[in-house]
């Protein structure tokens, strides 16, 4: 699962 608003990779 993932936080949609938070793409923490570049």
Partner 1 sequence: MNIFRILGDVSHLLAIIILLVKIHRSKSCAGISGKSQILFALVFTTRYLDLFTTFISLYNTVMKVIFLICAYITVYMIYVKFRKTFDSENDSFRLEFLLVPVTGLSFLENHSFTPLEILWTFSIYLESVAILPQLFMISKTGEAETITTHYLFFLGLYRALYIANWVWRYHTEKFYDQIAVVSGVVQTIFYCDFFYLYVTKVLKGKKLSLP
Measure the CA–CA gap between 2 and 8, rounded to whole angstroms.
10
Q: How far is the CB of 5 from partner 1 (least distance, A)?
A: 6
Measure the CA–CA gap between 10 and 4, rounded to whole angstroms.
15
Ranges within 1-10 binding partner 1 (CB under 8 A): 1-2, 4-10
Q: How far is the CB of 1 from partner 1 (least distance, A)?
A: 8
Measure the CA–CA gap between 3 and 1, rounded to whole angstroms.
7
Size of the site for partner 1 (CB under 8 A): 9
For partner 1, the binding residues (CB under 8 A) are 1-2, 4-10
């Amino acid at each position: 699962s993932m936080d949609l608003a938070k793409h923490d990779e570049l």
